[in-house]
Amino acid sequence: MAVLTTKAIVFSSIKYGDTSLIVKCFTLEEGIKSYMIKGVLKAKKGKLKAAYFQPLTLLNLTASHNNKGNLNSIREANVYSPYERIPLEIKKQSIVLFLSEILSSIIQEEEKNESLFNYIETALIWLDTHDEIANFHLLFLLNLSKYLGFYPDTSNSSANAFNLLEGSFTTRAYEKLTLVDVDLILFKRLLGINFDTIHTISFNKKERQTLLRVIIQYFELHLEGFKKPKSLDVLETVFS
């Protein structure tokens, strides 16, 4: 059994019994790891607090990894970049719950992926500290596809359609699973931008919902077993 100190992002926590949690984290050093944290829901003292294991909390962990596919254990934990505004703002909370559900379902590898970790970490800190966040989840998901290997090929972006299955622009606008007209215009506005230029694009409620469902469909086509998140409706309600 190896003892490791690593940064980690909490993806999910599930109550186990009356007093314990099973927590899934994306660690910087070893990818996805799951931990049993016994007694944390009743502990008044102790090193570990239940508040540490809220969705997408940024932690430093010292943990024992058994590498046998069993649940691991956490010896120590602390929050290395506490959120100041996410806990206080319902829109940001809704985004965090939505993204934690998606990340938990699509990232499964028990191996180091430093660039993906850094992308998620940087994006979350940006979300906490900025005001114009209505389109954050759209850009987060689209740019996440870079790290998952299916970011849209923009080499022919003047074409009049985008094939969601092939992930590229096309002149064959009549085919199934292609974006054309208004949907295409909305989609193209997100391509090639980063969080610091997100204020330059604006979508109304209907456009935002359309674009989110397009991106969800894009993920469904490119990730085997990807399911529409349960928290999608909540997110759409908050931003309506």
Query: What is the CATH classification number for the domain harbouring 233?
Result: 1.20.1440.120
Residue 215 predicted with pLDDT over 70: yes
Do 179 and 95 lie in a common domain? yes
Do 154 and 174 lie in a common domain? yes
Domain with 196 in it: 86-238
Q: What is the SS3 assignment for 87? A: helix
Looking at residue 234, its pLDDT comes to: 86
Percentage of the chain beyond pLDDT 90 is 80
Domain boundary among 15, 49, 79: 79
**Average pLDDT, rounded, for the chain:** 93
Q: State which of 32-46, 115-129, 223-237 shows the largest mean pLDDT.
A: 115-129
Rounded mean pLDDT of 85-93?
A: 96
Of 192, 151, 193, 144, residue with least CA distance to 168: 151
Percentage of the chain beyond pLDDT 70 is 98
Beta strands 2-16; 58-65: pairing state: antiparallel
* Position 101 confidence tier, pLDDT thresholds 50, 70, 90: very high
Do 105 and 60 lie in a common domain? no
Looking at residue 41, its pLDDT comes to: 87
Residue 224 predicted with pLDDT over 70: yes
Do 96 and 192 lie in a common domain? yes
Do 65 and 104 lie in a common domain? no
Do 66 and 168 lie in a common domain? no
Do 103 and 203 lie in a common domain? yes
Looking at residue 43, its pLDDT comes to: 66
Domain boundary among 56, 79, 102: 79
43-62 per-position pLDDT tens digit: 677 788 889 999 999 999 99
Of 34, 22, 40, 108, residue with least CA distance to 72: 34
Residue 70 predicted with pLDDT over 90: no
Do 75 and 193 lie in a common domain? no
Domain boundary among 31, 60, 79: 79
Rounded mean pLDDT of 118-128?
A: 98
Do 117 and 228 lie in a common domain? yes
Residue 69 predicted with pLDDT over 70: no
132-191 per-position pLDDT tens digit: 999 999 999 999 999 999 999 999 999 999 999 999 999 988 888 999 999 999 999 999
Rounded mean pLDDT of 91-117?
A: 95
Task: Read off the pTM.
Answer: 0.95
Residue 68 predicted with pLDDT over 80: no
Do 119 and 26 lie in a common domain? no
Residues 6+ positions from 70 with CB-CB distance below 8 Å = none
Residue 10 predicted with pLDDT over 70: yes
Q: In this structure, are residues 221 and 177 in contact, taking their beta carbons and an 8 Å threshold?
A: yes
Do 71 and 187 lie in a common domain? no
Do 126 and 69 lie in a common domain? no
Residues 6+ positions from 54 with CB-CB distance below 8 Å = 10, 13
Structural domain total, the chain: 2
Residue 83 predicted with pLDDT over 90: yes
